[in-house]
Amino acid sequence: MTVRISHTPKVQELFREAAGLNNQQGSARLKQLILRMITDAARIIEDMDVSEDEFWLAVEHLNRVGKHAEFGLLLPGLSLEHFIDLLQDAKDQQVGLTGGTPRTIEGPLYVANAPMSDGYTRMDDGSEDDVAIPLFIEGRVLDTHGQPLPGAIVDLWHANTQGTYSYFDPSQTPFNLRRRIVTDASGYYRARSIIPSGYGLDPDGPAQQCLSAIGRHGQRPAHIHAFISAAGHRHLTSQINLAGDQYLWDDFAYATREGLVGEATVIGDAAASRAHGLDGRRFAQLKFDFVLQPAVTAEAEQRSQRPRVGA
């Protein structure tokens, strides 16, 4: 039997009091958000007959997610970071802001202020030279008319062959596989790196524990994250997801999108390898251009104010 009381004046007044609406201090916006969260939580509890045991189990689980700092993983896993992209796309559509490389989620593993180079850089520290396939990435930053954008900043970050990211994996050197490259006079950025492996949630962590309880995996395809910025143009947060990965279209974070798939073509030719400064071993090439929309406001040139390590 479902009993509903959250709509009654007595309970509504209780929630308004709990959200701070009966005092003059604090943030009016936060009060509205908290009132809505309390009200919606109460509705879930009564509509779905959430038991006391279920309620406290959820509290215990959320505590574990926080203790392991995994909210930034669980929320994309529950599709909400992608939902924010879908919502922004729909808002853009409504005001005619279309074209360019699609946005996709940042994820929780960025570190600000990576080393910056003009035109070209090597991203990997060489520590996986014996196991990794070297990857030469190149492309241009363009505007929506196809004109190259010199002086754009291409801020790239990706995982190593174990699928882990420097800083969050303290066994890696600082800023390994994290670099900023300023595009040259023709709008080109180039980097030597390594082919990353896909990312998987910690199998023993609370985010994977939740996904397992609903029959889901926590794997992402191999991918390279990018922030692209250029004066007068709209900041772009996106990713190159690598073709051929078994998780390309089965991404636990729903980040792969049409237009964001890149092919790391493996080249076995020894002469070509030596021409790239390698000792004849195979390597891979990835070409990917980023197309930026014009910025309609100064604010549009900036990335979100999301709290980030290293910032």
Residues contributing to the site for ligand MBD (CB under 6 A): 73, 76, 105, 107-109, 199, 220, 253, 255
Number of residues that bind Fe ion (CB under 5 A): 1
CB within 8 Å of 36: residues ≥ 6 apart: none
Is 107 a residue that touches Fe ion (CB under 5 A)? yes
Q: What are the structure tokens assigned to 288, written together? A: 């990917």
Distances (CA, A) of 183 to 10, 44, 151, 153, 188: 62, 50, 5, 6, 5
Smallest gap from residue 109 Cβ to Fe ion (A): 5
Smallest gap from residue 57 Cβ to ligand MBD (A): 25
Q: Tokens 């066994």 appear where?
A: 171
Our CB check for Fe ion shows the closer of 100 and 107 to be: 107
Is 76 a residue that touches Fe ion (CB under 5 A)? no
Distances (CA, A) of 97 to 23, 91, 221, 293, 294: 41, 8, 29, 8, 9
Our CB check for ligand MBD shows the closer of 169 and 301 to be: 169
The DSSP bridge partners found for residue 219 are 200
In the list ligand MBD, Fe ion, none, the entry touching 73 (Cβ below 5 to 8 angstroms by class) is: ligand MBD
Our CB check for ligand MBD shows the closer of 143 and 251 to be: 251
Smallest gap from residue 256 Cβ to ligand MBD (A): 10
Our CB check for Fe ion shows the closer of 192 and 225 to be: 225
- Give me the phi and psi of 82, to 5 degrees please: -65, -40
The DSSP bridge partners found for residue 11 are none
Our CB check for ligand MBD shows the closer of 20 and 200 to be: 200
The DSSP bridge partners found for residue 179 are 156
In the list ligand MBD, Fe ion, none, the entry touching 253 (Cβ below 5 to 8 angstroms by class) is: ligand MBD
Site for Fe ion, rule CB under 5 A? 107
